[in-house]
Structure 1
Amino acid sequence: MAITANDFWRLAGERAVRARGEIARRSALAREPRPEGVRAPPLRFLWGELASLRRGVRRSVGEPAKALRPQPIMLLPGFGAHPARMRPLANALRAAGHEVHEWGLGFNLGPTEQNFAFLMRRVGMLARQHQAPVALIGWSLGGLFAREIARRQQESVSCVITLGTPFSGSPRANNAWRAYQVITGHSVDAPPVECELRGKPPVPTIALWSPRDGVVHPRSAAGWPDERDRAVALRCTHLGFASAPEVSVEVLRQLDRV
């Protein structure tokens, strides 16, 4: 049935009203105050993140030692990042003999019921394909996905390694929560996927964190003893978790310990 001019302008007006309402809602999310007593990393570390962007991707140092026990691995990128940002880590893992897979969702623009269900299926498929559980390595927000997948699907996951992931304390103890709320359209306190951020997954769980992190507060990324099995400090930026050679070395070392 043909749409009349009146119908066209009525529909356009309704869309404009909805768009204005959505803009107003996301603007309100951006203006929310940080809770009393919650701290983010100091701004001088945030400027360090910008400097690391100018330096670009850092090359690995030398050929990594062969893995003691090669295993399938899935890498999960941080918020707003594409899997290509984790290529230096992926290359080091492959050079050591591991089977490395991307998460299959392109840019990480936050959780939805659909993309989380996809990841659950993908991890199960990889475990069946390799006839072995999969190691999940998640950078920042990707680590929250990894921890929750392991909590729900223990039989398909061998271990979880988080890289600067804010799994402990307040979800506002970082310098990215307002941007996250504007882009995803939901509060950090009310994700669209039910999850248990602080409870340790029922698999070996290692948290890599940095005192120089300019995005996530170190305490949030290190967690407490009952929230992970090990916490290892590295001296890289938050963005450096995707490409710093020392991160690749430590991830390989932890995989050999699992």
Structure 2
Amino acid sequence: MTFATKYRRVGLIVPSSNVTMETEIPALLKARETILPDRFTFHSSRMRMKSVVKEELEAMDADSVRCATELSDAAVEVQAYACLVAIMSMGLGYHRASREKLEKATAGNGCPTPVLNSAGALIDGLKEMGVKKVSIICPYMRPLTKMVVDYIENEGIEVQDFLALEIPDNLEVASQDPTAPSELWRKLDLRGVDAIVASACVQMPSLPSIEMIERASGLPTMSAAVATTRQILRNLNLTEIAPGGGALLANGMPASEPMLA
């Protein structure tokens, strides 16, 4: 007797101009399928946003309830809201309020679903690795990058240094070379840091760079996409491991060859 493969349904709440979340997170989970039996499908709902400026981010976030409700129609098992700066620009600690609001929307639609966001996932990933001081790379304009820094520091993690690439157009963010962070990290002040965030943005590609930076720097390296993937696995009660995801998704596994996004 044979049994049909059980696919775990992952819901993605995505800015309309984001094309990287639906590339890097599935890439990590598909790589995981090569070593573990779990299988995944991905289902998206989009919020309008083209320019990474505070006004558009606020309007986009207001649309997240609709997205969460739509995805609950599909009975997804977990939802991931992926726009780190949208959450962090809404006020300190907002990742908790956003999660509560969206989970309430799914329950009100008759399909209660755990909801995570990339902002909370990054904070949790840093804390769970015992990180006290970090340096980060962001694609955002400097004022938004400073908001991200303030948000992280409000959560008890010192930001030693940051690199703001100052790219306002979200599609231009996505067009960046995914291997660029493997050299950009060298511009950061790493004195006393416990980890590097190669991309504090789920739109800026960085997946091939994660383990390249770890090998060159000797420091644990993560990204918003890697941290989000870990939280997706956690909410599905699955082992938090995926080849190419660096220390956060290694679970004692040796580093793999760099992944191509």
The two structures share one fold, judged by TM-score above 0.5: no
TM norm structure 2: 0.40
Q: Going by fraction, where is strand more abundant, 1 or 2?
A: 2
TM norm structure 1: 0.41
Query: Which structure exhibits the higher relative contact order, with contacts defined as CA atoms closer than 8 Å and separated by 6 or more residues?
Result: 1
Larger gyration radius, structure 1 or structure 2: 1
